[in-house]
Structure 1
Amino acid sequence: MEYATKPEVAYDFSPVIIMYKDGRVEKLQGSEIVPPSLDPKTNVESKDVLYSPENGLSVRLHIPKNTNRNQKLPLLVYFHGGGFYIHSPFTPQTHNLLNSLVAEANIIAVSVEYRKAPEHPVPCAFNDSWTALQWVKSHVNGAGPEDWLNGYADFERVFFCGDSAGATIAHHMGIRHGQEKLEGVNVKGIALCHPYFWGKEPVGDEPTDAEFRQRREKYWRVACPSSSGCDDRWINPAADPNLARLGCRRVLIFVAEKDFLRARGWYYYEKLKESGWGGDAEITETEGEGHVFHVKNPTCKNAVAMLKRIACFFNQE
Structure 2
Amino acid sequence: MAAPTDSPATTNEPYVVEDCRGLLKVMSDGSIIRSADPLVVLTFPDDGSVESKDLLFNSTHSLYVRLYRPVKTPPNTKLPILFFFHGGGFCLGSRTWPNNHALCRRLSAELSALVLSFDYRLAPEHRLPAAIEDAEAALLWLKSQCTGPDTDPWLAESGDFTKVFISGESAGGNMTHHMAVKFGPTGLSPVQIRGVILIMPALFEKELTRSELECPKTAFLTPEACARYSKLALPVGATREYPALNPFGPESPNLENVDMGPILVIAAERDILIDSNLNYVDRLKKMGKKVELVQIAGEEHAFFSIKPLSEATGEAIQAIGRFMNQTGAGSD
Shorter-chain TM-score range: 0.7 to 0.9
Partner of 1:307: 317
Q: Map Cα deviations across residues 242-292 of structure 1 (whole Å, 9 max, x no partner).
A: 334555431111111211111010011011112344xx2111112211111
Structure 1 residue 299, shift from structure 2 partner? 2.8
Q: What code does the residue aligned with 2:152 have? A: E
TM-score, normalised via structure 1 length: 0.87
Contact 1:31 1:87 in 2 (8 A): yes
Deviates further, 284-293 or 155-164: 284-293
Equivalent position to 2:69, from 54, 59, 63: 63
Gap change, CA 1:286 and 1:208, over 3 Å in 2: closer
Partner of 1:26: 33
Counterpart CA distance in 1 for 2:67 and 2:17 is 38
Unaligned residue ranges in structure 2 (runs of 5+)? 216-221
Q: What code does the residue aligned with 2:291 have? A: A
Structure 1 residue 49, shift from structure 2 partner? 0.5
Structure 1 residue 205, shift from structure 2 partner? 4.3
Counterpart CA distance in 2 for 1:260 and 1:154 is 36
Number of residue pairs matched by the alignment: 308
Structure 1 residue 139, shift from structure 2 partner? 2.1
Contact 2:54 2:66 in 1 (8 A): yes
Equivalent position to 2:191, from 185, 188, 195: 185
Counterpart CA distance in 2 for 1:216 and 1:296 is 17
Counterpart CA distance in 1 for 2:292 and 2:40 is 34
Q: What code does the residue aligned with 2:292 have? A: E
Q: Map Cα deviations across residues 71-123 of structure 1 (whole Å, 9 max, x no partner).
A: 11111111111111111111111111000011001010111111100111111
Partner of 2:173: 167
Unaligned residue ranges in structure 1 (runs of 5+)? none
Q: Map Cα deviations across residues 10-62 of structure 1 (whole Å, 9 max, x no partner).
A: 2234456331111232346864899xxxx851511100001111211111001
Equivalent position to 2:235, from 225, 237, 244: 225
- SS of residue matched to 1:295: helix
Q: What code does the residue aligned with 1:285 have? A: Q
Gap change, CA 1:214 and 1:96, over 3 Å in 2: closer
Partner of 2:129: 123
Deviates further, 235-244 or 188-197: 235-244
Deviates further, 83-92 or 242-251: 242-251
Gap change, CA 1:310 and 1:147, over 3 Å in 2: same
Contact 2:186 2:192 in 1 (8 A): no
Contact 1:191 1:252 in 2 (8 A): yes
Contact 2:103 2:309 in 1 (8 A): no
Partner of 1:45: 51
Partner of 1:76: 82
> What's the % identity of the aligned pairs?
33
